[in-house]
Structure 1
Amino acid sequence: MNQIEGVILDWAGTAVDFGCFAPVNVFVDIFKHAGIEVTMEEARGPMGMLKIDHIRAMLSLPRVSSLWEEKYGRAFNEEDVKKLYAEFEPALMASLSEYTNPIPGVIDTVEVLRSKGLKIGSTTGYTRSMMEVVISGAKAKGYGPDHVVTPDDTDSYGRPYPYMIYRNMEQLKLSAAWKVVKVGDTTSDIKEGVQAGVWSVGVAVGSSEMGLNEEEYQALSKSEKEAAIAKTKQVFMQHGADFTIETMTELPSLIERINRLLAEGRRPGCVK
């Protein structure tokens, strides 16, 4: 049948850790220790990538690169990347267990999807050792996908490469890319889905792209929430998303819509 067979979810900012704060705070800290003040926006920009790639991308930002040259009298090199990552990993591991709460609506949504016979896969920018902490914490709170793939499983070729999605498809026996939906909260997630040829969906509320924790989001007025959601959705669409949703609770109805499109012979990338 021409219907969606599986959904592949990102972790931080999509399924757990509202606002994706576990890694962003550590990125800011390690650069500060190196004498470079980075903004939250600069720290969030490459979110979703393998974390050493994320550090490399931050160092490549024109402002950050310029600050590095001013401080050290030379351009950054791979040794610098490795030193920063060596500081990043233990710092993240020390706090990661505090950021495993499922985002509101995720557990119920996954139950609805499973009741419809869909498989639930997942990809991440975290390494396998990081994910062991996240998987354990999230499972204790009621969330767990059918399969988890990290960049460690794809020879460190993380997002935006499509390989983690393909590993999920292989393990979950999903028959075609156009029968798969990828949901994430960063532009790296969107690019991963686009390059894999699956339906690529961006979720706004709780996302790293929006960059607000749950308390900050709930404190917004109705109009402020609408503006933040619209801005976030626009970024996802600009990077190739097929669809955007406000929250995960909208996903089951979106999949029904995609199934209708599939019945008409439509495919990912051909909706706009």
Structure 2
Amino acid sequence: MSDNAIQLAVFDMAGTTVADGGLVVRAFDAAATAVGMETEGPRRDRARQYVLDTMGQSKIVVFRALFDDEDTARQADRAFEAAYDALIEEVGVTPIPGAAAALRKLRAAGVRVALTTGFSRGTRDRLLTALDWTDIADLTLAPADAGRGRPYPDLVLTALLRLGVDAVDRVAVLGDTTSDIATGLAAGARIVAGTLTGAHDEARLRAAGATHVVPSVTEFAELVLTEHS
């Protein structure tokens, strides 16, 4: 285990280490249409805004909040996954500039690296394969691997336990949404940073309680490596 003050860095994927390019909203629109929501009007506008506000949370949880019954929520979730997977193939995905180098630099310095997501295991794995990132992290987690997704602490705490980290105050978390910040704070992480490469701006990230806000994953890696006990 590393002698660094931070032993584990936990990263969100879409918007934090992976460029989103609006794919989440496009996949949501396809899913909402698939379950019969009108394509225009106040209800669709409110639903889109809710998706943006809750970016980073487990997608099935979002759909349960939007639709009246479990069957519709599950149907929407399946349609979302299918649409997102198709967009990965059609549009492609790219890493946030410098992300791969930052993750490798941390690991080379002895810091464990975990990637977490609100997507299903299947979509997570397709993203990792598309990026050729299957071995870039020590651990990758979807909500189903941890119990609950964001904003609960489960993803961060599962990473801590599986990777044998000494204490929560030796963990740093990075994400682009208020849900990521809530997760890191709930887990008791020492650093809970927001990045400006994704869904939410600096004001929202700071209002959510971020300990730091950085331009990108590159600066976060430097922050982790210069943190002292």
Do Structure 1 and Structure 2 share a fold, with TM-score over 0.5? yes
Q: Distance in 1 between matches of 2:206 and 2:226?
A: 18
* Distance apart, 1:124 and its partner CA: 0.6
Seen in structure 2, the aligned counterparts of structure 1 residues 201 and 16 have a Cα distance that, compared at 3 Å, is same
* Distance apart, 1:184 and its partner CA: 0.6
Structure 1 counterpart of 2:96: 103
Deviations 1:50-82 (A, max 9, x none): 11112233x27xxxxxxxxxxxxxxx3333322
Structure 2 counterpart of 1:169: 160
What is the correspondence of 1:1-272 to structure 2 with a 5 Å cutoff?
3-19=5-21, 21-33=22-34, 34-37=37-40, 38-39=44-45, 40-57=48-65, 59=66, 76-97=68-89, 98-139=91-132, 144-155=136-147, 157-198=148-189, 199-204=191-196, 206-209=197-200, 232-259=201-228, 263=229
* Distance apart, 1:36 and its partner CA: 4.6
Q: Distance in 1 between matches of 2:203 and 2:92?
A: 27
* Distance apart, 1:256 and its partner CA: 4.3
Q: Distance in 2 between matches of 1:18 and 1:104?
A: 12
* Unaligned segments of structure 2, at least 5 residues: none
Amino acid in the other structure paired with 1:131: R
Deviations 1:240-270 (A, max 9, x none): 11111011221133224532xxx3xxxxxxx
Paired positions, count: 218
Structure 2 counterpart of 1:217: none
8 Å CA contact 1:16–1:103 kept in 2: the answer is yes
Aligned-pair identity (%):
28
8 Å CA contact 1:17–1:99 kept in 2: the answer is no
Seen in structure 2, the aligned counterparts of structure 1 residues 257 and 28 have a Cα distance that, compared at 3 Å, is same
* Distance apart, 1:28 and its partner CA: 2.1
- Give the structure with the higher percent strand: 2
Q: Distance in 1 between matches of 2:204 and 2:176?
A: 10
Amino acid in the other structure paired with 2:13: W
8 Å CA contact 2:17–2:96 kept in 1: the answer is yes
Q: Distance in 2 between matches of 1:113 and 1:235?
A: 27
* Distance apart, 1:169 and its partner CA: 1.2
Alignment TM-score, normalising by the size of structure 1: 0.73
8 Å CA contact 1:107–1:143 kept in 2: the answer is no
Structure 2 counterpart of 1:63: none
* Distance apart, 1:18 and its partner CA: 4.0
* Distance apart, 1:12 and its partner CA: 0.7
* Distance apart, 1:93 and its partner CA: 2.0
Residue aligned with 2:55, SS? coil
Amino acid in the other structure paired with 1:49: Q
Amino acid in the other structure paired with 1:25: R
8 Å CA contact 1:7–1:119 kept in 2: the answer is yes
Q: Distance in 2 between matches of 1:120 and 1:131?
A: 16
8 Å CA contact 2:115–2:141 kept in 1: the answer is yes
Q: Distance in 2 between matches of 1:154 and 1:171?
A: 10
Q: Distance in 2 between matches of 1:125 and 1:101?
A: 18
Deviations 1:163-197 (A, max 9, x none): 11122112222111110101011111111101111
Coordinate RMSD, CA, aligned: 2.2
Structure 2 counterpart of 1:270: none
